[in-house]
Amino acid sequence: MKKTVKIGLFGFGCVGQGLYDILQNNTENTGFEAQILKICVKNKEKKREIDASYFTFDKDEILNNSEINLVVELISDAEEAYQIVKKALLSGKNVVTANKKMLALHLEELVRIQKETGTSLLYEAAVCGSIPIIRTLAEYYDNEFLYSVSGIFNGSSNYILSKISNENLSYDVALKQAQKLGFAEADPTLDVAGFDATYKLCLLATQAYGIFINPDEVLRIGINNLKKEDIDFAKNYSVKKENDQNTTNFKVKLVASISRIKSSENNQVLLYVLPVFVDAENPLYNVENENNAVLVEAAFSDKQTFIGKGAGGHPTGSAVLSDISALRFDYQYEYRKTDRNKEKNALGQTLISPTQNVEAEVYLRFENHLSKKELLQNIDFTEILTENENHIIGKIILSELFEKRDFIEKHHIFVALCGEVKAVN
């Protein structure tokens, strides 16, 4: 049954203003109505374009308002967002949020509260902006055997990589350009070090495989140690394909991935956020600038590619609007795969679990202050394929990279997947 949606909005930044604009224009175009009753913000001095009567500086003015039946949370502070969302759900209000860090850290608890209270927690806007991947996984793929979900989940890092590769810019110049355009923050660490993509990957792991993953369990290496020479190396990198032809001209993309590792029981998944050399046959090859992409590979529906704007007020606001619209009909994510995992656990059956016991071919470039001898004393390769004075291509167990992340970061080592990934017998 369709019901009237009365919104209490937290945050009026880029996405909050985008949502307000969309709601104002969408009513005229489609007849869809959702009323914003109050907007909670922090900065009392900031001048805003809409009437001051909309605004409050007290979160309880929204959370304790019985007329408001939907809280839309669009603030950047993950801990504050958690407190708001938790209290809203416990008080019987539905919630729409775009805060991927907050969700990645607290999703299991919030899903439990949703089920206990009969409320709804929706977060399409938390992953890949305007790409409708959360509901697609929750509904279309709810009974599919998924091989993998992967892609470009962060527009800021993809913009930087595109500018270096296509326009010959240095990393620093490309980063400053991304900051000027609003794609990257003044402190870009969340984006370029892979944190943002990791949070999103954790949310997709729940929808795709029914498992709750702590972000700290994910192998995460970003592009913050990248130099233009790494892009140039990838362009000239050559790989022998099955048809006996050499493939060259790779691009570097920051890829987030969760995939089943082939085993007798198909119960292990590998999660990572890593730079990857991709060739022209890969759908990610031509995904440029701030665009995001999600690749889904399944047993029956085969391979699907979703591409769209991953950031910005209107693209992300459109995903928030989709959730608001769904709540007119009391829509919920049902977490069927999570429930099936619980049933298996009760029966003592083998559950899906993360693993890093996987061998991968990697490119590793290091600075002059670090000798090759010192590098090899600290990072254990299973096989060295090629090497010179400042880079190594070799095979490594990914758990080794996970364990040596601090060493890699301390010495500004750039790491990228450049070949086959396979399970260790």
pLDDT, one tens digit per residue, over 260-285 is: 987 656 689 999 999 999 999 999 99
Say which of 38, 163, 200, 309 is annotated catalytic.
200
Q: Could you give the CA distance from residue 191 to residue 265 in angstroms, rounded to a whole number?
A: 35
Q: Could you give the CA distance from residue 279 to residue 320 in angstroms, rounded to a whole number?
A: 34
Kindly report the backbone phi and psi dihedral angles of residue 121, in degrees, each rounded to the nearest multiple of 5, phi listed first: -120, 110
Specify the pLDDT at position 3: 72
Q: Which whole number is the average pLDDT over 121-136?
A: 94
Kindly report the backbone phi and psi dihedral angles of residue 60, in degrees, each rounded to the nearest multiple of 5, phi listed first: -70, -20
Q: What's the pLDDT band for 31 if we cut at 50, 70, 90? A: low
Residue 28 has pLDDT above 70, yes or no: no
Q: Which whole number is the average pLDDT over 107-127?
A: 97
Of the two residues 171 and 424, the one the predictor is more confident about is: 171
Architecture of domain 5-139+314-344: 3-Layer(aba) Sandwich (3.40)
Count other C-beta atoms under 10 Å from residue 193's C-beta.
20
In Å, the largest CA–CA distance within the chain is 69
Specify the pLDDT at position 394: 97
Q: What's the pLDDT band for 349 if we cut at 50, 70, 90? A: confident
Q: Which residues have CB under 8 Å from 89's CB, separation 6+?
A: 95, 110, 113, 114, 117, 119, 121
| Lowest mean pLDDT, pick from 73-77, 240-244, 328-332, 403-407 | 240-244
CA distances from 377 to 372, 374, 381 (A): 9, 5, 10
| Lowest mean pLDDT, pick from 21-30, 37-46, 159-168 | 21-30
CA 400 to chain centre: 23
Q: Residue type for 127, please?
A: V
pLDDT, one tens digit per residue, over 189-248 is: 999 999 999 999 999 999 999 999 999 999 999 999 999 999 999 999 987 666 666 667
Residue 129 has pLDDT above 70, yes or no: yes
Specify the pLDDT at position 262: 76
Q: Which residues have CB under 8 Å from 87's CB, separation 6+?
A: 63
CATH number for region 356-425:
3.30.70.260
Tokens read off for 227:
């130099």
* Portion of the chain with pLDDT greater than 70, in percent: 95
Specify the pLDDT at position 345: 84
Of the two residues 371 and 245, the one the predictor is more confident about is: 371
Of the two residues 114 and 50, the one the predictor is more confident about is: 114
Contact 130, 316 (CB under 8 A): yes
What residues does CATH 3.30.70.260 cover in the chain?
356-425
Q: Which residue, 283, 279, 281, 284, is CA-closest to 254?
A: 284
Specify the pLDDT at position 64: 97
Specify the pLDDT at position 414: 98
Count other C-beta atoms under 10 Å from residue 297's C-beta.
16
Of the two residues 182 and 234, the one the predictor is more confident about is: 234
Count other C-beta atoms under 10 Å from residue 25's C-beta.
11
**Mean pLDDT in the chain?**
92
Of the two residues 3 and 16, the one the predictor is more confident about is: 16
**Tokens 């945050």, located at residue:** 11
Q: Is 200 a catalytic residue?
A: yes
pLDDT, one tens digit per residue, over 308-346 is: 988 777 788 889 999 999 998 889 999 999 998 888 888
Residue 298 has pLDDT above 70, yes or no: yes
CA distances from 230 to 17, 234, 276 (A): 39, 6, 11
Tokens read off for 310:
């991953």
Three-state helix/strand/coil letters over the chain: CCCCEEEEEECCCHHHHHHHHHHHHHHHHHCCCEEEEEEECCCCCCCCCCCHHHEECCCHHHHCCCCCCEEEECCCCHHHHHHHHHHHHHCCCEEEECCHHHHHHHHHHHHHHHHHHCCCEECHHHCCCCCCHHHHHHHHCCCCCEEEEEEECCHHHHHHHHHHHHHCCCHHHHHHHHHHCCCCCCCCHHHHCCHHHHHHHHHHHHHHHCCCCCHHHCEECCCCCCCHHHHHHHHCCCEECCCCCEECCCEEEEEEEEEECCCCCCCEEEEEEEEEEECCCCCCCCCCCCEEEEEEEECCCEEEEEEEECCCHHHHHHHHHHHHHHHCCCCCCCCHHHHHHHHHHHCCCCCCEECCCEEEEEEEECCCCCCHHHHHHHCCCCEEEEECCCEEEEEEEHHHHHHCHHHHHHCCCEEEEEEEEEECC
Residue 181 has pLDDT above 90, yes or no: no
Specify the pLDDT at position 81: 97
Q: Residue type for 350, please?
A: T
Specify the pLDDT at position 39: 95
Specify the pLDDT at position 240: 66
Q: Which whole number is the average pLDDT over 14-24?
A: 84
